[in-house]
Amino acid sequence: MFRSGNFFKHTFGKVFSTVIVILCLGPAPLLVAQFSVSDVKVLSDSVNSQMEESNPMLTNDGRTLYFVRTFSEENMGGKLAGQDIWYSRLKEDSTWSTASNLTSLNTIDNNLVVGISENSDTLYLLNSYSGPLREKWGIAYSTKDSDGIWTAPKEYDVVFKNTGDFRGYFVSASGNVILLSSNSENSYGEEDLYIYIKENGQWQDPIHLGPEINTSGFEISPFLTDDEQRIFFASNGHGGFGDSDIFMTERLDDTWQNWSTPVNLGPEINTKGFDAYLSLDPGGLALYSSSGNGSYSDIYSAVITFGEAEPVPDTTVLLDSTAIVLVQDTLSEEALSQPIYYTVQLLALGKREAPEIDFFEKVDISSVSVYMGNDGLNRFSIGEFESFSLALEAMGSYRKIGYFDAFVRKVTRYEDLFKSSGEKVLGLFYESQ
pLDDT in tens, 23-40: 333 333 444 568 899 999
Rounded to an integer, the average pLDDT of 232-257 is 91
Lowest mean pLDDT among 42-51, 189-198, 225-234, 419-428: 419-428
178 burial type by CB count under 10 A (0-12 exposed, 13-18 middle, 19+ buried): buried
pLDDT score, position 355: 81
Whether the CB-CB separation of 287 and 56 falls below 8 Å is answered with yes
Output phi, psi for 376, to 5 deg. Answer: 90, 0
Output phi, psi for 67, to 5 deg. Answer: -155, 175
pLDDT score, position 274: 92
pLDDT at 100 over 80: yes
Rounded to an integer, the average pLDDT of 276-289 is 94
Rounded to an integer, the average pLDDT of 312-335 is 38
pLDDT score, position 221: 96
pLDDT score, position 66: 98
pLDDT score, position 187: 83
pLDDT score, position 93: 93
CATH of domain 30-312: 2.115.10.20
pLDDT band at 233 (very low <50, low <70, confident <90, very high): very high
424 burial type by CB count under 10 A (0-12 exposed, 13-18 middle, 19+ buried): middle
- Pairing status of strand 368-373 against strand 378-385: antiparallel
Output phi, psi for 329, to 5 deg. Answer: 55, 35
Whether the CB-CB separation of 111 and 55 falls below 8 Å is answered with no
Mean model confidence pLDDT for the chain: 79
The predicted-structure confidence for 163-185, as pLDDT tens digits, reads as follows 667 789 999 999 999 999 998 87
pLDDT at 308 over 70: no
pLDDT score, position 99: 98
Q: Compare 5 and 65 and report the one with higher pLDDT.
A: 65
Stretch (H or E) spanning 13: helix 12-16
SS3 405: coil
SS3 104: helix
pLDDT score, position 1: 52
pLDDT band at 426 (very low <50, low <70, confident <90, very high): low
Rounded to an integer, the average pLDDT of 198-212 is 91
- For 195-264, the three-class secondary structure string (H helix, E strand, C coil) is EEEEECCEECCCEECCCCCCCCCCEEEEEECCCCCEEEEEECCCCCCCCEEEEEEEECCCCCCCECCCEE
* Percentage of the chain lying above the pLDDT 70 cut: 74
What pTM did the predictor assign?
0.67
pLDDT at 334 over 80: no
Q: Compare 311 and 195 and report the one with higher pLDDT.
A: 195
Q: Compare 275 and 392 and report the one with higher pLDDT.
A: 275
Strands across the sheet containing 122-126: 113-116, 122-126, 139-143, 154-155
| From-to residues of CATH 2.115.10.20 in the chain | 30-312
Output phi, psi for 108, to 5 deg. Answer: -80, -5
354 burial type by CB count under 10 A (0-12 exposed, 13-18 middle, 19+ buried): middle
